[in-house]
Structure 1
C-alpha cells in the first residue's frame, strides 16, 4: 500500500503540473512535425540529461522503435536478458557481454539487483523550465508499474530532481508477488564562474519478491490439459518463501578549480564519496515440499523445522580523492587515491565440526591510480590505471578510444584488464540451511576483455573477446534435480569467450525493419560458462500520421529468439543464478504485436505479448522449471510535461 500511495502522490503532482504547462519544446525527431508551430519557451538543447561521466543527451519525446524497446520496467533496452514470468522478478542473462566487472568486491546476491539503481544508473538534469514525466504500465495481475519524475532548475546553476518508481504485481503463478520501490533525489550545482561543481544523489530502494522455486511438474505445464491453463493450479516448490533486498545510498561527486579563472592550464581537486547500506533477507515459513507422496526440503536439511529467516547486512564507504591537471592542448592528467571500507555481517558465529564460520567480513582496501583523458577534433580517449596499496591485491587497467568520422560513423576500441576481489557472498554466507554455510579463501578473478564497436550508416557492429581466469560461479552439488544444494566454486582453468553483434534498421517509405543478431562462442574444458549460440530480435513495423498530423502511429511485430542451451537456474536463498548442465531451454519464438501512438508529448503503448504462446506448445522457459510469460495484453503511457 505504501508504494501505491507514493505513486498516487506523484501522479497528482504531475497532473497538477500538466494544467500549468505551456507550449512544448520542439524535438529533433522523426515525428516533430506533429508539435505546435508556435515558438517554444526554450530550445530543445536547454533540456539536458547527463550522467556522472558527463555524457549528455537531450530530453526526447519522440516515438521511435527504440522507444518501444525501452518501454519496460527497467526503462532500458533489455536485448540479451530473458524476463521471468512476473514483472519485477529477476532476468536470466543470455548475453554474457552485459556483465560488468569491478576490481572492488560487491555485496553479491546479484540475481536480485536488476531493478536496483546503481551509481551509474542515476541521471542528473539541467532544464530551462520545470519538467515532469510519468511512466505507467499495467502488470500481470492486481497492481501497476509507475515511474514518476519532477526536475527543476531554481537557477541556471542549481538543479534538483525527485523521482519514485513503484511496482506491485501479484503474478499468474502461486507465490509470485513483486513489490518494489525506488526513490531517488538528485541535486546539481555549478558556481557562476564554473570554479566549483557538485553532483549528488540519495536513493532508498526495496525489492520484495515471492519465491516459488519454479513449478514441480514440467509435464503438467506442457500438457494440453485445460485445467492447467489457469497457472495458479500448477504446483510449485515453495508456497510461502520470499526474498527482500533493500538499500540506501548517499553519493557526492564534486570538483574545485584551484586557479580563480579558467585558462589553458587548470588545476582541479576532485572528491567522490559513496556511503551505502544494503540488507538481504530470505524468509521461508514452511520448509517441506510434497511431490508424488514424497516429502522433502528443496534446499536440504536445516537447523530449524520452520520459519527460516536468513539475514545479511552490508555497509560500504568509498572515498576517492584526486588532483587533475587540465591543459587545452594535451588533455587531462589525474592522479588519485581510493579508500574503500566495508563490513559484511551476520548476527552470530557458527561453530561446525570441521570449521568455524565467522559472523562478518571487514576490510579496508586502498589503491593509487592515474587517469588520462583526451578530447580534440574527432578523437576522444580515456585511460585508467589503478593498483592496490593495501594488503589485499587488486588492479585495473582500462583504455577507451573513440574516433568520430562524421555524424553517421564512429568507431570505438575498449580494453579492460581487471584483477577483481570476489564478491562477499562467495567468501562468507550463513543460513539456517546446513549446506548454505561457508567461509572460503578464493583467488581474485582475472578478466581480460577487448571490445570493438563500429556504428556506421550501413550497419552497427560490435565484437568482444574475453579471457577469464579463476572464474567464480555457483553450482548445484545435489545429484537429484528436485534438490538445490548450491555452493560457490572457482574454476582453475581459462575460459575464452567471443561474441559478435550486428544491428541495422532499414526504412522504406512508411515501413521499417529493425534487426539485431548476436553470436556467442565459449572455449572451455568444462561447461562452466553457458550461453546461447544465437540470439536475435527482429521488428517489422509501420508508421504514419493521422488527424492532420495530430497523431503519430507506430505498429508492428517483434520476434525474439535464442537457440537451445543449458541456461543458468535461479536460487532464492542466495539470490543468485547457478550453473546447471541437465536441462536445456530455448529454440522457441516470442512474438509481440504492438500499437503505439504519440500525441504531443504523450506516448501511448499497447502490446499483445507473446501472442503465439498458444500456437507453439507450452515449451517456453526463462530458466529450468520457470516458464516464460503466456499471452497477455498490456498497455500504458509515457507522458512528459514542459512547464
Structure 2
C-alpha cells in the first residue's frame, strides 16, 4: 500500500511539473480570503504593515501569499513588532506557557494545557520531543510573483548555531515550489547535553487556469536527537544552588549518566487536492466540490545507552542498549463540500486510517506477556457546517470512528459576533473522546520496569471557551475543561520507577488569559497574564496558578527612518507548583508531588532593529540570574539557563 501511495504521489508531482507556462507578474493577486494575525511563513506573525515595493515594479508585498493547510491565506510580513520578537526562537512561534530546558533544541515543560481535540487516533509517544516536530497543520504553501527567500539565524549554547532557510518560487501562475530546512547543533553548558536536529520541508501547489482543480502536497523529513544525562545528581543540587564561583562552570556538576541519547525521526508524504464540480465563483454563488486528503507517515523513537544504569532500575541486558518503537500510519479522507448562499456551507466526509505501531519482539515477564504490535484499520465518518447569519457566524463539526479497534468521537461548535467595531465576542464548545497515547497502551524496554500493555479507557474531555477580542481594551479568554480518565505517567509507589496510570476521578480545570498593550508616545507596556485553577482530588494535573509576561519597551525610527529600533526589558514569572519531572528513556514528563518549583523571576534585555527586510535581534537572557538566587529549574534536577547574550537575524529577499 505504501509503495502504491508513493508512486501515485510522485506521479502527481510529475504531472504538475510539466505542461506549465512562463510566469507573469502583472496579474492581480488572488483574493485573500482570511487575513489572520498569524504569519504562517515563520509559524506565527502579524499581518503585514509594510507598504514597500519589491525590486520588480510589477510585484507588491501584498502579492506574496501564504496558504495554510486549511486554505486560509495571509501575506508575507517583514515588519518588526513585539509579537515578532516573541516568535524569534527555536520553535518560531510564541512560547508563552512553555518553560525551556537549559539547552536549545531540548524539551519544554508545559505551564498550561489545552485539551481541545479534533483527533480520533492515539498519538505517538515521546511527547516531550514533539514540540519541534512539524505536523500537517504546521506546513504551509505559497503563491509568489517573484522568488522569495527567508533566512533565520540565531546563536546557540557552546559550539553551535541554529538556522532556518526557506525558498519559494512560482514557475507559473499555476505552479509553486518551496524548499526549507531548519537545523540546529548546540553543545550545551552541562555534561552530555548536545542537541542536533533537522527539519526538511518540500511543498508544491498547483491549480488549473480555470481554478477548478487545486492541489497542495508536501514531503517532510525530520530527525531530532538529544544526548541525555538524567539531570544533576541529587548531591550536586546544593552546589548549583549555592552560586559558588567554582560551580559557575556548569560542566563541573555531576549528572546521573553520560552514555545515553534518544532520537525521534519521521518522514511524511501528504497530498490534499480538490476538484470543483461547478465552476468556482465568488462567495455569492453556490458551489459544489470534492476534496481528497491522504497522508503516509513513518516515524520512530529510539533510546540508546552503552551501559545500563540503575537510574531506570534493573535491565535484561547490561551493554549496548538499543530500543526502537515505530509507527506506520496511512490516512485517507474523502469530502463532499457544498456551499449554498442561503443555507450555508456543508461538508460530509468519510475517512480511513491504517496504523501499525510497535516492536519487533514479544517480551515475556514472570506474570505477563507484553505483545509487540497494535495494528489495524479504522473507518470514520463526519461532517461540518458553517453559516453567516448577518453579523453572527456559526460553525460546527463532528466526527466519529465507526469501525475498528479504537473508539473515538468529537464535536466542536463555534459562534462569534462583532459587538461593535474593534470588539468581537466568540464562544466555543468541544467534546472529545479518544484512546490514550500509544506508549501508554504498549511499551517495551530493556529495562524491566518499562514494559507494559494496558487496556485503558478513552480519555474524555469537555471544554467550554469564551473569548473577547478588543485590542484597545483587552483580549480575554476564559475556558473551563472537564476531564475524565486522564492518563499520565508517575512513579510507582512500590518500585519508585515511572509507569502510566489512569485517573479514576473527574478533573475540573479553569484557565483565564488576559493580554493588553498600553502605549504612551514611543513607549509601550505589553502584558500577558494567565490565571489557572485545578480541582483534582488525586493531584495528577498540576499547573502554576499564575503565569505572566510583561514587556516594557521603546520604539523609534533612526537615521532618517532608515532603521527602526525597539529596545526594552521582558519579565517572565510563574508561581510555585509541583512541576512535572522528565524521564529521558520515555521522553515524557511525569507527575511528581514531592517538591514545588517556580516562583523565580526572569528578566531579559533586548535590542531589536529593522533595516529594510532584515530584522536583527540582540538579547541578554536571564540577566538577573546572579542576584536573584540559583533556584531556577525547567524540571526537577534540570536547572534553567544562566545569564547569556545571544543574537540573530531574520532576512527576507525578494528577487
TM-score, scaled relative to structure 1:
0.91
Q: Which residue of 1 aligns with 2:76?
A: 59
Structure 1, unaligned runs of 5 or more:
1-24, 289-296
Q: Which residue of 1 aligns with 2:216?
A: 199
Structure scoring higher RCO (CA < 8 A, sep ≥ 6) equals: 1
Q: Distance in 2 between matches of 1:259 and 1:633?
A: 58
Q: Distance in 1 between matches of 2:174 and 2:260?
A: 49
Residues 80 and 98 in structure 1, CA contact (< 8 A), matched pair in contact too: no
Q: Which residue of 1 aligns with 2:287?
A: 266
- Out of 518, 525, 530, the residue aligned to residue 518 of structure 1 is 530
- Out of 403, 423, 429, the residue aligned to residue 415 of structure 1 is 429
Q: Which residue of 1 aligns with 2:507?
A: 495
Q: Does the C-alpha gap of structure 1 residues 399 and 186 become closer, same or farther in structure 2, counting only changes over 3 Å?
A: same
Deviations 1:456-503 (A, max 9, x none): 021000111100001110101157xxx861111111110000000000
- Residue correspondence of structure 1 range 100-139 to structure 2 within 5 A: 102-139=119-156
- Residue correspondence of structure 1 range 340-359 to structure 2 within 5 A: 340-359=353-372
Residues 584 and 624 in structure 1, CA contact (< 8 A), matched pair in contact too: no
In the alignment, structure 1 residue 167 sits paired with structure 2 residue 184: yes
Deviations 1:92-150 (A, max 9, x none): 00012377562211212111111100111111111121110000000011011000100
- Out of 505, 515, 529, the residue aligned to residue 541 of structure 2 is 529
Deviations 1:208-227 (A, max 9, x none): 00111110121011013211
Residues 397 and 418 in structure 1, CA contact (< 8 A), matched pair in contact too: yes
Q: Which residue of 1 aligns with 2:304?
A: 283
Worse-matched range after superposition: 613-622 or 305-314: 305-314
Residues 31 and 63 in structure 1, CA contact (< 8 A), matched pair in contact too: no
Q: Distance in 1 between matches of 2:571 and 2:182?
A: 28
Q: Distance in 2 between matches of 1:40 and 1:588?
A: 53
Deviations 1:508-548 (A, max 9, x none): 11101000100000011111100000000000000111111
In the alignment, structure 1 residue 462 sits paired with structure 2 residue 477: yes
Residues 308 and 432 in structure 1, CA contact (< 8 A), matched pair in contact too: yes
For residue 306 of structure 1, report the CA deviation from its aligned partner. Answer: 2.0
Q: Which residue of 2 aligns with 1:365?
A: 378
- Residue correspondence of structure 1 range 172-571 to structure 2 within 5 A: 172-216=189-233, 217-260=236-279, 262=281, 264-288=285-309, 297-375=310-388, 378-391=391-404, 392-405=406-419, 408-456=422-470, 457-477=472-492, 485-571=497-583
Q: Which residue of 1 aligns with 2:33?
A: none
Q: Distance in 2 between matches of 1:612 and 1:99?
A: 37
Q: Distance in 2 between matches of 1:287 and 1:229?
A: 30
Q: Does the C-alpha gap of structure 1 residues 72 and 487 become closer, same or farther in structure 2, counting only changes over 3 Å?
A: same
Q: Does the C-alpha gap of structure 1 residues 55 and 265 become closer, same or farther in structure 2, counting only changes over 3 Å?
A: closer
Structure 2 residue matching 1:220: 3-state secondary structure? helix
Structure 2, unaligned runs of 5 or more:
1-28, 30-44
Q: Does the C-alpha gap of structure 1 residues 599 and 484 become closer, same or farther in structure 2, counting only changes over 3 Å?
A: farther
In the alignment, structure 1 residue 586 sits paired with structure 2 residue 603: no
Q: Distance in 1 between matches of 2:177 and 2:408?
A: 36
Q: Distance in 1 between matches of 2:387 and 2:210?
A: 23
In the alignment, structure 1 residue 49 sits paired with structure 2 residue 66: yes
Deviations 1:293-314 (A, max 9, x none): xxxx101000011221111011
Structure 2 residue matching 1:434: 3-state secondary structure? coil
Aligned residues: 606
Q: Distance in 2 between matches of 1:635 and 1:41?
A: 35
Q: Distance in 1 between matches of 2:146 and 2:56?
A: 15
Q: Distance in 2 between matches of 1:315 and 1:28?
A: 36
Q: Distance in 1 between matches of 2:288 and 2:370?
A: 49
Structure 2 residue matching 1:97: 3-state secondary structure? coil
Residues 158 and 188 in structure 1, CA contact (< 8 A), matched pair in contact too: yes
Q: Does the C-alpha gap of structure 1 residues 194 and 375 become closer, same or farther in structure 2, counting only changes over 3 Å?
A: farther
For residue 331 of structure 1, report the CA deviation from its aligned partner. Answer: 1.9
Q: Does the C-alpha gap of structure 1 residues 28 and 439 become closer, same or farther in structure 2, counting only changes over 3 Å?
A: closer
Q: Distance in 2 between matches of 1:29 and 1:545?
A: 20
Residues 615 and 651 in structure 2, CA contact (< 8 A), matched pair in contact too: yes
Q: Which residue of 2 aligns with 1:6?
A: none
Structure 1 residue matching 2:69: 3-state secondary structure? coil
TM-score, scaled relative to structure 2:
0.89
For residue 28 of structure 1, report the CA deviation from its aligned partner. Answer: 10
